[in-house]
Amino acid sequence: MTTTTNKKDYDVIVVGGGAAGLGVSIALSHAGIEDFIVLERHVVGASFALWPAETRFITPSFPTNSTGMLDLNSIAIGVSPAYSLEVEHPTGPEYALHLQGVASYFQLPIQENTEVKRVTKIGDEFVVDTTDDTLRAKHVIWAAGEFQYPRLNGFDGIELCRHTATIASYQKLEGDDFLIVGGYESGVDAAYHLSKRGKRVRVFDKDCPWKEESSDPSIALSTYSVERMRKQWFKDNVELYPNTPIRSVVKLDDLYEVTTHDGKKFQSPVPPLMAGGFDGSHKLVADLFEKRDDGFPLLSEDDESTIVPGMFLCGPTVRHQNHVFCFIYKFRQRFAVVAKTIATSLGLPAEELEKYRMWGMYLDDLSCCGEECVC
Ligand SMILES: Cc1cc2nc3c(=O)[nH]c(=O)nc-3n(C[C@H](O)[C@H](O)[C@H](O)COP(=O)(O)OP(=O)(O)OC[C@H]3O[C@@H](n4cnc5c(N)ncnc54)[C@H](O)[C@@H]3O)c2cc1C
């Protein structure tokens, strides 16, 4: 899949060959932009390929494209993982295969095994330093995701925990008694698979995601997870501790001890599992964006940096007001916005992108996520 080229200058460099990087690249092509490249540190879909083997998509895939409704897990008009994979809730490796198929179908120019180390803007140009080269571009789209940048801070002793992003399979995890920090989707997923094997599981969360009164799945648990929590083995083996922030983890001889903020102590011989989210790759380019109060990059209406023109963000870390674009069906709405902005700055008409509006991939407004919206 790797494109080999000696070219060093591009109109656009896209960093990351995941769902966001590929999706926005297809939108660039539809906007008539040809002079771009996707730089991927591993291979296309690498993050999905690294998911725990048993973990499945919570958002269902259904082949609805023919009736004008894009499959929830689709990254482009005309493709559907439901259709290509014939499963409703793909595993990570299955979805990685789907992305690889999409990349070859659209003949995207992708350079794999190329890690971006640094992006700087010098004059009107971006200088992109990779593991073994220096490239230049008029625009950069940062789409390097979150999964490969797990959160490893937040309380003392967190380094003793094992992040769920590093678990290859719950089937193969040794031990009978698990403490899980974080009870949102990944924490419930881990608890589900471990309890199914008859393991004792205790899940701690600083809030109460299991009773969240919101219709936004970026805040409340998905129905897929809620259904799983109703399984008898989950009820029998999992204890939930809501509103229980963790203060520290220590190792005492053969035991790991988790202490909560209110001083309660819980012990297990197995390293606690950390399901507390991700720092995100945007930290690598933090100097190119203003920061919001919540730490996420501040973006213009076109998802461009407010301080470095030509620098764009794409993917699950996009935030506008209080709207979180963490699922594929959410952040794909921004692909056409970014592509149109870049095409316009290159003097291209980008008429082809109008059809994105019809497919619910919005071009120039955030009305789908207004205050009244329950999208
Ligand atoms: C367990 C789990 C379950 C999920 N379930 C769902 C779901 O059901 N539905 C849904 O919509 N979303 C789900 N998500 C979220 C979804 O996976 C992410 O939002 C999505 O992967 C983000 O896509 P991305 O392209 O931004 O990031 P990624 O898929 O992580 O892609 C980023 C790519 O960039 C590459 N990269 C990273 N750093 C560099 C660098 N410095 N230089 C070059 N390349 C780099 C990586 O190798 C990777 O291929 C889930 C996430 C997790 C962890």
**Cβ(46) to ligand 1 under 6 A?**
yes
Distance 315 CA to ligand 1 centre (A): 8
| Ligand 1 touching residue 52 (CB < 6 A) | no
* Cα–Cα nearest to 303, from 109, 20, 77, 18: 20
As given in the structure block, the two tokens for residue 123 are 């004059």
Each residue's pLDDT, cut to its tens digit, for the chain (375 residues) gives 677 678 899 999 999 999 999 999 999 999 999 999 999 999 999 999 999 999 999 999 998 888 888 999 999 999 999 999 999 999 999 999 999 999 999 999 999 999 999 999 999 999 999 999 999 999 999 999 999 999 989 999 999 999 999 999 999 999 999 999 999 999 999 999 999 999 999 999 999 999 877 777 777 899 999 999 999 999 999 999 999 999 999 999 999 999 999 999 999 999 999 998 999 999 999 999 999 999 999 999 999 999 999 999 999 999 999 999 999 999 999 999 999 999 999 999 888 888 887 777 777 655 544 443 333
* Alpha helices (H) in the chain, listed in sequence order: 19-30, 46-49, 81-85, 92-105, 185-196, 223-229, 232-237, 328-331, 335-345, 354-358
Tell me how far the alpha carbon of residue 131 lies from the centroid of ligand 1, in angstroms: 21
Q: Locate the ligand 1 atom nearest the alpha carbon of residue 45 and give its number.
A: 49
14 lines ligand 1 (CB under 6 A): no
- The Å distance, Cα 43 to ligand 1 centre, comes to 12
Query: Which domains, and CATH codes, for the chain?
Result: 9-148+279-369 (3.50.50.60), 158-274 (3.50.50.60)
Binding site membership of 103 for ligand 1 (Cβ less than 6 Å): no
pTM of the model: 0.95
CA atoms within 13 A on the CB side of 157: 16
Residue pair 151/276 in contact by the 8 Å Cβ criterion = yes
* Chain position carrying tokens 């990349």: 103
Measured by CA distance, the residue closest to atom 41 of ligand 1 is 116
In short, whether 170's Cβ falls inside 6 Å of ligand 1 is no
